[in-house]
């Protein structure tokens, strides 16, 4: 399992537009991708799951990937969130 902890810096939090981009990126990988916030963990390939977490700004979240392409997946998702200016 490969995981990273990131801080959400977007003033609106993890809102629909960047969440959709992240979900689309996660969906390209075979491995299981989860995002965890405040003790809840959801499938990062599900926009409804990600949005149900209601992640506000200045929140720390953990993104974890488990499976054959976990290294590439976690790096790609982190890069996508940085490009969207959601994480620092």
What amino acid positions are annotated as catalytic residues? 15
The DSSP element (H or E) to which 60 belongs, if any, is strand 60-66
Residues 6+ apart with CB under 8 A from 24: none
To 5 degrees, how large is the angle CA 7–CA 20–CA 67? 75
């Amino acid at each position: 399992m490969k995981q990273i902890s990131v801080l959400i810096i977007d003033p609106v939090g993890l809102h629909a537009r960047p969440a959709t981009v992240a979900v689309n990126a996660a969906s390209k990988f075979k491995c299981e991708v989860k995002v965890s916030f405040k003790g809840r963990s959801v499938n990062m390939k599900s926009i409804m799951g990600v949005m149900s977490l209601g992640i506000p700004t200045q929140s720390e979240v953990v993104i974890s990937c488990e499976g054959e392409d976990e290294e590439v997946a976690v790096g790609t998702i982190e890069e996508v969130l940085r490009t969207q200016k959601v994480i620092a």
